Amino acid sequence: MTAAAFCLTYAALAALCLAMDRHHADVFGDDPPPRRRLALRVAGWALLGLSLWAAAAPRGWAYGSTQWTGMLALDGLLLIVLLPYAPRAAVGLGVLCLAAAPLLAAL
Partner 1 sequence: MKPGNAQEGLRQAMSWLHTWTGLVLGWVLFAMFLTGTLAFFRPEITAWMQPEARPAMVEPARALDTAVDYLQRHGPDSPRWFVSLPGEREPAMRLAWQAARPQPGQRRFSIVYLDPASGREIAARETRGGDFLYRFHFELGIGYPWGRWLAGVAAMFMLVAIVSGVITHKKIFTDFFTFRPGKGQRSWLDGHNALSVLGLPFHFMITFSGLLLLMAMLLPAGILAAYDSERAFFDEAFPAFRMPEASGRSAPLAPLAPMLADARMHWQGGSVGRVTVSRPNDANALVSFTRDEGDRISYGRGSPVRVYDGATGRARSQSQDPGGATLVAGTVVGLHLGYFAHPLLRWLYFLVGLAGTAMVGSGLLLWVAKRRQKHAKAAQPPFSLRLVESLNVGSIAGLCVAVGAYFWANRLLPAGLAGRADWEVRAFFAAWALAFAHAGFAGRRGWGAQWAAAAVLLGGVPLLNAATSDRHLGHSLAQGDWVMAGFDLAALACGLLFAWLAVKALRARRQAAHAAQAAQAVQAAAQAARAARATQAGLPEGATEAGRP
Residue numbers at the binding site for partner 1 (CB under 8 A): 2, 13, 17, 20, 22-23, 59, 62-63, 66-67, 69-74, 76-77, 79-81, 83-85
Nearer to partner 1, 63 or 102 (CB): 63
On whether the CB atoms of residues 95 and 30 are closer than 8 A, the answer is no
Q: How far is the CB of 39 from partner 1 (least distance, A)?
A: 18
Q: Which is nearer to partner 1, 76 or 92 (CB)?
A: 76
Q: Please, which residues have CB within 8 angstroms of residue 18's CB and are 6 or more apart in sequence? A: 24, 27, 32, 40, 91, 94
Q: Tell me, what amino acid is at 31?
A: D
Closer by beta carbon to partner 1, 52 or else 71? 71
Q: How far is the CB of 92 from partner 1 (least distance, A)?
A: 16
Q: Give least dist CB 50 to partner 1, A.
A: 19
Chain centroid to Cα 56, Å, comes to 17
Minimum distance from residue 43 beta carbon to partner 1 (Å): 16
From the list 25, 11, 24, the residue with the least C-alpha distance to 95 is 11
Which of 103, 101, 107 is CA-nearest to residue 53?
A: 101
